[in-house]
Amino acid sequence: MLIVGITGGIASGKSTVTKALRDANFPIVDADVVAREVVEPGTRALEKIKLAFGPSIIENGQLNRHKLGNIVFSHPAELNRLNAIMQPAISSAMRDKISFWRTQNVPILIIDIPLLLEKGYENLDDIDKIVVVYADREVQMARLKARENLDDINAKNRIDAQMPIADKLVHADYVLDNNGSQWQLEEQIKNLMVNLKEIAPKYGTK
Ligand code: ADP
């Protein structure tokens, strides 16, 4: 099975790319969904977050993600603490999902994984090819602000909390340039799909 990681900066267009691949019937593992599952009520990761950030971070048994986001995106040290809790939990859950798809005999598995290249991530070995969705910082800022209704400072904090997108490009096997229109992105996605289908047989079905 060929495992393809889709990554890029926040609001660079990863979800748009993943949606197109899902519509084309590629199986997808979404790290954001996994990241939510590992902090559901009763999980060990949620207990650890409660210890690290205090009980007020939990409301009615649920993690208050907005509150946590505001803490960690303006304090890099707090973000590191959160990542130290989240990444092992996510890695382990991701490995379980990959194992499941290996039993399904699919030729290609797509993993939508925003933090693939960020420090401390443990899944890199499983990924055969890395796709980086790229948009210039100004484009990223404008789309992030529009999507989440953020002001300049909060949008900037969220972008600065991530590895600079240019550093991610170094690791890319494929780069999708999303500075242009949705249509231009779609064309690149089509080419990517053709290429992945061509190389997939080399990776077998397991
Ligand atoms: P990510 O998953 O990387 O955070 P999204 O795919 O959600 O990014 O894209 C960020 C925002 O920008 C979304 O609101 C999306 O609809 C919009 N968007 C993505 N690609 C384009 C494009 N080529 N032109 C205009 N808007 C876009």
Higher pLDDT, 49 or 205: 49
* C-beta neighbour count of 63 within 10 angstroms: 20
**Model confidence at 185: pLDDT above 90:** yes
Cα 196 from Cα 206, distance rounded (Å): 16
CATH number at residue 36: 3.40.50.300
Angle (nearest 5°) at CA 90 between 15 and 186 = 15
Domain count, the chain: 1
Ligand 1 pocket test: pick from 7, 15, 134 the residue with the most ligand atoms within 8 Å of its Cβ.
15
**Model confidence at 5: pLDDT above 70:** yes
Average pLDDT over residues 164-190: 94
Contact 8, 175 (CB under 8 A): no
* pLDDT confidence band for 162 (50 / 70 / 90): confident
- Cβ–ligand 1 contact at 131 (below 6 Å): no
Ligand 1, atom 19: closest residue by C-alpha: 13
**How do residues 55-86 score in pLDDT, each as one tens digit?**
999 999 999 999 999 899 889 899 999 989 99
* CA of 184, closest atom in ligand 1: 23
Cα 144 from Cα 91, distance rounded (Å): 26
CA 9 from centroid of its chain's CA atoms: 9
| Averaged pLDDT score across all residues of the chain | 91
CA 170 from centroid of its chain's CA atoms: 17
Q: Which of 7, 14, 202 is nearest to 108 (CA)?
A: 202
The parent domain of residue 76 ranges over 2-203
The alpha carbon of 169 and the centre of ligand 1 are apart by a number of angstroms equal to 18
* CA of 179, closest atom in ligand 1: 23
The alpha carbon of 39 and the centre of ligand 1 are apart by a number of angstroms equal to 26
* pLDDT confidence band for 53 (50 / 70 / 90): very high
- 65 forms beta bridges with none
- 152 conformational bin, left if phi > 0, alpha if psi -120 to 50, beta if neither: alpha
Ligand 1, atom 21: closest residue by C-alpha: 182
The alpha carbon of 30 and the centre of ligand 1 are apart by a number of angstroms equal to 16
